[in-house]
Amino acid sequence: MDKLITHLGSIVSPDWATLAVVALLCAVAAYILKEYLAHPPMIIFVYPVMVFCSLAAYYLFVVTEQLSPKKIDQWLMWAILASICGTVIGIVAVSAAAVLREKFGGPRRPPPVPSRPTRAVR
């Protein structure tokens, strides 16, 4: 349990520059994604998932020593790549949760039937 807490603490505490780049890129992705949601205010729940997944991807890159955080060009490239990975994983995770909710959710009421036939039915 101590290792898990240590890893989670390291995931959510990057340096300020990395956090700013990740948050900005995820905000841009969330703003664009908002237009395609059935209920646009739901982006409030999607954005934190995307940021957390991006930070987890960045932490994975750092732990596996894929980048040298001392070099600015490598750091920025890997921060952007982590943001892209986190955005994709976050969108997939939220979409999968929505599909599972629809599939295993409670019973649905049937749509209302019009009292008189419409022109399309005649």
Q: What is the DSSP letter of 67?
A: S
What's the whole-number mean pLDDT along residues 54-73? 80
Sign of CA dihedral 46, 24, 88, 1: negative
CA distances from 31 to 28, 35, 57, 97 (A): 5, 7, 21, 20
Q: Can you say how many angstroms the Cα of residue 112 is from the centroid of all Cα atoms in its chain?
A: 35
Q: How confident is the model at residue 24, as a pLDDT?
A: 92
What rounded mean pLDDT belongs to the chain?
Answer: 81
Is residue 121 over pLDDT 60?
no
Q: How confident is the model at residue 122, as a pLDDT?
A: 54
CA distance 93 to 70: 32
Predicted TM-score of the model (pTM): 0.72
Chain segment 84-117, per-residue pLDDT in tens: 988 898 888 888 887 887 788 767 777 777 677 6
CA distance 99 to 75: 36
CA distance 50 to 90: 4
What's the whole-number mean pLDDT along residues 7-35? 84
Say which residues have a Cβ less than 8 Å from residue 78's Cβ, sequence separation at least 6. Answer: 58, 61, 66, 67
